[in-house]
Amino acid sequence: MSGGSHVPMRMCVGCGGRAPQQGLVRITVSADGVLQIADERPRVGRSGYLHAEPRCWSQFASRKGAIRSLARNFAKEERVAFVRRFEATRAQSEVTGHVA
Domains of the chain, CATH where assigned: 9-96 (3.30.1230.10)
Q: Specify the pLDDT at position 39.
A: 76
Q: Specify the pLDDT at position 51.
A: 96
Query: By the 8 A CB rule, do 79 and 86 touch?
Result: no
Distance CA 2, CA 10 (A): 21
Distance CA 31, CA 12 (A): 23
Backbone angles phi, psi at 94, to 5 degrees: -65, -35
Distance CA 64, CA 68 (A): 12
Q: Specify the pLDDT at position 16.
A: 95
> Which residues of the chain register pLDDT less than 50?
100
Which residues are CB-neighbours of 9 under 8 A, at least 6 positions away?
18, 19, 20, 21
